[in-house]
């Protein structure tokens, strides 16, 4: 994974722990990861 993305995820995770509605943020991160994963799969399948 790209270093930039890793840094963003780590920042988001730390941020989510300090926020009371961390479950919403966690779900948001999960959605982003799922979408990214699906996009990558499409890319590999189209080759």
At residue 1 the predicted structure's pLDDT band, cuts being 50, 70 and 90, is low
Supply the pLDDT for residue 26. 81
Residues 10-45 pLDDT 10s: 888 777 677 666 678 788 889 999 999 899 888 888
> Among residues 39, 29, 41, which one has the least CA distance to residue 5?
29
Bin 19: left if φ > 0, else alpha if -120 < ψ < 50, else beta: beta
């Amino acid at each position: 994974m790209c270093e930039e993305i890793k840094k963003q995820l780590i920042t988001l995770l730390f941020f989510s722990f300090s926020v009371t509605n961390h479950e919403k943020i966690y779900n948001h991160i999960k959605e982003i990861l799922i979408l990214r994963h699906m996009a990558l799969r499409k890319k590999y399948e189209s080759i």
